[in-house]
């Protein structure tokens, strides 16, 4: 199971272009249809391990991106976003809002003018409307159920009602669920609703080529307004990134140097969506394969094993763990073993970012 990230935004903001860049895809930017694709999560450590160990195969972690296609503008206000679109949006782990900052006379802006902050607010509002509509419907249903409810069901309903009213009040004050202070128990109940404003949000400001020299300063400036919990903002020239994504790595690198683009904007986008989701990576080196896996920060060794195969979780004996840095110093696992740097860890060991792990298990 990999992570799913939904790409939304106003019409003609560059959603499909961003999608193509992320997934090295060739989806038609002219069609407003939805697209699904996989991006390989860039990780320099995986490259380093591969260079060192010369495995037969190198397998990066993957993230799945969905280009929602439709613009969600205007859908929220009446009855909230609904149907298949809501199902699609509800199922993602995080959202990317592509906001147009590029100028192109031949592609009219849906709002008639360029205004990044206005467009960010528009989408935030649509998402909030959608959540409010879900809350309204649920509150109505609770009212009805309360009429005939006996204890302890009644108590549960009243508690849920109280929570929803609190969330609704905050939403109406423009505080998205992701910024609301909820106890861990509240957060757990709330998770069932899959509120759209609860999802981590990455704002991708889609700039034109001619704005590249100002990309960093624009990003800093906008970030000073958007440093909010579980929300990040990045500038990206989607059109250029999409073109570069079609080139081989070395040609793309040469290009980037010429344009003075320090790090691939694409890699930064994927990495940021990872950080937003609280994901970390661990590596396995098994039968000629070096593989990266992504897990939630704070995952135990036995659950990490389950990520690879359910048998490994069920029959978990222990994990042999070495940190990435120690691994690089040793050059290979047998050297690490000799030096006593392979540590034996039990089920409850909390996997650290960059750990190289060999799981021992019984089937």
Ligand X SMILES: Nc1nc2c(ncn2[C@@H]2O[C@H](COP(=O)(O)OP(=O)(O)OP(=O)(O)O)[C@@H](O)[C@H]2O)c(=O)[nH]1
Interface with ligand X by CB under 6 A: which residues?
A: 9, 11-17, 29, 32, 69, 71, 102, 104, 107, 206, 208, 237-239
Residue 102 binding target from Mg ion, ligand X, none, CB below 5 to 8 Å by type: ligand X
Residue 323 Cβ, how far from Mg ion at the closest point, in Å? 43
Nearer to ligand X, 16 or 130 (CB): 16
Nearer to Mg ion, 16 or 294 (CB): 16
Q: What are the backbone dihedrals phi and psi of residue 273, each rounded to the nearest 5 degrees, phi first?
A: -65, -30
Rounded Cα distance, 232 and 32, in Å: 26
Count of alpha carbons within 13 Å of 127, Cβ hemisphere only?
Answer: 29
What is the total count of residues that contact Mg ion (CB under 5 A)? 2
Q: 64 with 88: CB under 8 angstroms?
A: no
Residue 341 binding target from Mg ion, ligand X, none, CB below 5 to 8 Å by type: none
3 strand-pairing partners: 63
Q: Does 71 bind Mg ion (CB under 5 A)?
A: no
Cis peptide preceding 269, ω within 30 of 0: no
Residue 69 Cβ, how far from Mg ion at the closest point, in Å? 6
C-beta nearest to Mg ion: residue: 16
The per-residue b/e assignment along 221-235, b for 16 or more CB within 10 angstroms, e otherwise, is: ebeeeeeeebbbbbb
Nearer to ligand X, 30 or 258 (CB): 30
Q: 83 with 133: CB under 8 angstroms?
A: no
Nearer to Mg ion, 15 or 239 (CB): 15
Give the contact letters, 6-45, x = binds to Mg ion (CB under 5 A), - = no.
---------xx-----------------------------
Residue 35 binding target from Mg ion, ligand X, none, CB below 5 to 8 Å by type: none
Residue 99 Cβ, how far from Mg ion at the closest point, in Å? 14
Residue 17 binding target from Mg ion, ligand X, none, CB below 5 to 8 Å by type: ligand X
66 strand-pairing partners: 6, 36
Residue 264 binding target from Mg ion, ligand X, none, CB below 5 to 8 Å by type: none
Angle at 105 between CA 99 and CA 111, to 5 degrees: 45
Residue 315 binding target from ligand X, Mg ion, none, CB below 5 to 8 Å by type: none
Angle at 247 between CA 98 and CA 207, to 5 degrees: 25
Residue 206 binding target from Mg ion, ligand X, none, CB below 5 to 8 Å by type: ligand X
Cis peptide preceding 152, ω within 30 of 0: yes
Q: What are the backbone dihedrals phi and psi of residue 296, each rounded to the nearest 5 degrees, phi first?
A: -70, 135
Start-to-end CA span in the chain (Å): 22
Residue 3 Cβ, how far from ligand X at the closest point, in Å? 21
Nearer to ligand X, 29 or 358 (CB): 29
The two tokens of residue 211 are 């704005």
Indicate left, alpha or beta for 340 from its phi (over 0: left) and psi (-120 to 50: alpha): left
Residue 301 Cβ, how far from ligand X at the closest point, in Å? 42
Residue numbers of the site for Mg ion (CB under 5 A)? 15-16
């Amino acid at each position: 199971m990999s992570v799913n990230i939904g790409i939304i935004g106003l019409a003609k903001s560059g959603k499909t272009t961003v999608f193509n860049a992320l997934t090295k895809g060739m989806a038609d930017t002219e069609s407003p249809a939805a697209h699904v694709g996989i991006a390989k999560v860039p990780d320099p450590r995986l490259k380093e391990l591969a260079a060192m160990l010369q495995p037969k195969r190198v397998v990066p972690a993957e993230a799945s991106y969905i280009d929602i296609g439709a613009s969600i503008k205007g859908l929220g206000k009446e009855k909230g976003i609904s149907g298949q679109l809501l199902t699609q949006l509800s199922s993602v782990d995080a959202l990317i809002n592509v906001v147009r900052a590029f100028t192109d006379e031949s592609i009219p802006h849906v709002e008639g003018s360029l205004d990044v902050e206005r467009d960010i607010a528009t989408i935030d509002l649509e998402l909030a409307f959608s959540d409010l509509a879900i809350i309204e419907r649920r509150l109505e249903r609770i009212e009805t159920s309360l009429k005939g409810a006996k204890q302890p069901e009644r108590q549960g309903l009243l508690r849920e009602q109280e929570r929803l009213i609190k969330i609704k009040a905050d939403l109406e004050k423009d505080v998205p669920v992701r910024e609301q202070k909820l106890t861990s128990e509240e957060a757990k109940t709330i998770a069932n609703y899959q509120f759209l404003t609860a999802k981590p949000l990455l704002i991708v400001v889609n700039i034109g080529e001619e704005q590249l020299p100002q990309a960093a300063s624009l990003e800093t400036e906008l970030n000073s307004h958007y440093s909010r919990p579980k929300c990040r903002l990045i500038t990206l020239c989607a059109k250029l990134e999409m073109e570069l994504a079609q080139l081989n790595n070395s040609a793309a690198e040469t290009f980037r140097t010429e344009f003075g683009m320090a790090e691939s904007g694409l890699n930064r986008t994927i990495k940021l969506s990872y950080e937003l989701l609280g994901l970390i990576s661990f590596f396995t080196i098994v039968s000629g394969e070096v593989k990266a896996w992504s897990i939630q920060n704070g995952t135990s060794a036995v659950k990490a094993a389950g990520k690879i195969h359910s048998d490994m979780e069920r029959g978990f004996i222990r994990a042999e763990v070495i940190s990435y840095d120690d691994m690089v110093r040793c050059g290979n696992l047998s050297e690490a073993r000799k030096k006593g740097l392979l540590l034996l860890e039990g089920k409850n060991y909390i996997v650290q970012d960059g750990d190289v792990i060999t799981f021992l298990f019984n089937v």
